[in-house]
Amino acid sequence: MTPLFNKILLLALLLAGGSVHAAGLINLLEGNVSVTNKNGELRIPARGERVEVGDKITTGRDGEIHIITDDSGLLALRPNTTLNIDAYRADGGSDDNVALKLMRGTFRSITGWIGKTWPKNYSVRTAHAAIGIRGTDHEPLVVEDGLDAGTYDKVNAGRTLLDTPFGKIEIGPKQAGFMPKDASQPPKVLAQIPALFKPAKNEAAIEKTKAILEPAADEKLKTKQRDNMRKGAGADGKPKIGDMEAGRKAAAALDEVLRAYETGNTAFIRNRLDPAMIGYQRLLDGIAVEANQCKQMRLRLLDTQIQAGPDLVVIQTAWEKRCVQLPNFTPRLDSGRSTFLMHLGAGGWSVAAISGSNPLASTGVLAAMSASTPLDCAAVNNLANVGGPLPASAQSFTITVTDPDMTGASSITVQVKSGNDVESIIVPASVPGTFQRTTLLVKKGAASPGNGVIDILPVGGGVLGPLACPAVTISYVDTTVISGSQTISVTVPIP
């Protein structure tokens, strides 16, 4: 693949967005712990491994796992717990987010920069409630069965919001909230923290890690953002889509191309088109034709949007083109919507690709078509047996199509009809813009539509009167004219 193609592919991927993100690094691991990834593959984790988005983490009755998250936070799962990591993005921008689902058991969450800077982007869900935070050290808990069944949340620092279909409550430091599983009552702040919340074996390790992580979270975020910018991305880790300076220069280069198009300056345009673009020569030929046929041209862009990537700018715009059409000096208005891909090379910004309705396209010249007269009907009857091919001396039928708009095409397709026989015939290019096929196969006998052979079926003669052959009609659809497409036809009699 060419370097330009690789850049276009990179830009497309960047514009499309979306990626798989890791959640964090396993810092402590004890007892029975397993991880099931989003593909259903089970593994036994090890300290120092990464935990990914889509992982389901399960601890046994003696299991405990601590994960230092990528936003400098901590997830500490207690025994008999199952936690799904539904989302975790920590790129340093406002769309960083955490989405966890607690199936059973309990864990302690000390939020990093996401919970501190963008608290609305953090959530923990259970079967009974959703928990939001306000920069927090808290412990969600799910009891599956019994009188105590439901969702709890204990707050060690900061505040959380327990949101349920039956109401929501705010939980402050040293408090715990509860939503019963049977929905027999709305959520409430409990009078005291239940005995269900028990310190884990490695609670001291959690406090020690917290003391290290919390003061460093802000600086970790700033370091992440600086690293993103050093790599050429924005502070949030995203590609620099919409870079104003690159976009402005690319838009100015495109405007120069459009003004040169208005004046018919094809030499300037040639220097501003990337030679690797698809349809390069055909586009230049169309511009030259347009310059000769469309005078006093004015081309205006409307509703323009610009997106910039590494050495590439995408310009999406609507447009209107007005001119006086020769030879009848008829006013003409064209309009459409196009996407221009601008590429920054050694010589500056150039047009690398155009998609949509192309404002630089030629207005189109209606094609011309002619066909030579085949042998007379009597000769057809005399020179061939019924069902047999004509000899070479009788194969004199020639089709010629001239279509300047198709310069560069290797062939075109025409439709030929003789009586009940209808065939699609490929006519190759003889010179650029002219297509010709001579010595078409002509035979008489039973018609076989669609076999690529033109069947001439003489009728009459003898007591039935003079021999007669159906006329041959050739049709060509010209798709490169102002109105979108026109069909031209020639009917050739066989006397």
Strands (E) in 372-420, as ranges, are 399-402, 411-418
CA gap 68, 56 in Å, rounded: 16
Strands (E) in 116-270, as ranges, are 122-125, 130-133, 137-143, 150-157, 160-164, 167-171, 175-180, 188-189
Mean pLDDT of the chain: 82
Percentage of the chain exceeding pLDDT 90: 40
What confidence tens digit (pLDDT) does each residue in 288-310 have? 878 888 888 899 888 888 888 77
Token pair belonging to 305: 């949007």
What confidence tens digit (pLDDT) does each residue in 375-433 have? 667 665 655 444 445 454 445 678 999 876 676 678 899 998 888 888 898 999 888 77
In angstroms, the Cα distances linking 493 to 377, 469, 474 are: 9, 8, 11
* pLDDT at site 20: 47
What confidence tens digit (pLDDT) does each residue in 317-336 have? 888 889 888 877 888 888 88
pLDDT range class, residue 468, cuts 50, 70, 90 = confident
What confidence tens digit (pLDDT) does each residue in 9-42 have? 444 434 433 344 678 999 999 999 999 999 999 9
Percentage of the chain exceeding pLDDT 70: 81
Residue type, 295: K
CA gap 63, 48 in Å, rounded: 17
* pLDDT at site 6: 46
* pLDDT at site 12: 43
* pLDDT at site 329: 84
* pLDDT at site 381: 60
Q: What is the dihedral of CA 98, 100, 106, 109, to 10 degrees?
A: 0
Out of 2-11, 116-125, 221-230, 427-436, least confident range:
2-11
* pLDDT at site 410: 84
Domains for the chain: give ranges and CATH numbers: 18-221 (2.60.120.1440), 244-356 (3.10.450.50), 368-492 (no CATH)
Out of 89-98, 168-177, 203-212, 444-453, least confident range:
444-453
Tell me which residue has tokens 């705010």.
170
Nearest to 408 by CA among 260, 228, 285: 285
pLDDT range class, residue 259, cuts 50, 70, 90 = very high
- Which whole number is the average pLDDT over 428-453? 75
pLDDT range class, residue 349, cuts 50, 70, 90 = very high
* pLDDT at site 27: 94
Out of 127-141, 415-429, 470-484, least confident range:
470-484
Residues in the chain: 495
pLDDT at residue 242 greater than cutoff 90 = no
CA 41 centroid distance within chain: 30
Q: Are 92 and 236 in contact (CB under 8 A)?
A: yes
Higher pLDDT, 21 or 96: 96
What confidence tens digit (pLDDT) does each residue in 158-200 have? 999 999 999 999 999 999 999 999 888 899 999 999 999 999 8
pLDDT range class, residue 87, cuts 50, 70, 90 = very high
471: DSSP letter? P
Strand ordering across the sheet containing 294-309: 294-309, 312-325, 330-345, 348-356
* pLDDT at site 183: 84
pLDDT at residue 315 greater than cutoff 80 = yes
pLDDT at residue 77 greater than cutoff 60 = yes
Question: CA 291, 292, 293, 294 torsion: positive or negative?
Answer: positive
* pLDDT at site 142: 97
CA gap 196, 173 in Å, rounded: 17
* pLDDT at site 431: 82
Partners of 110 in the β-ladder: 74, 137
- Which whole number is the average pLDDT over 443-457? 70
**Residue 405 main-chain phi, psi, to 5 deg:** -65, -15
* pLDDT at site 486: 74
* pLDDT at site 387: 45
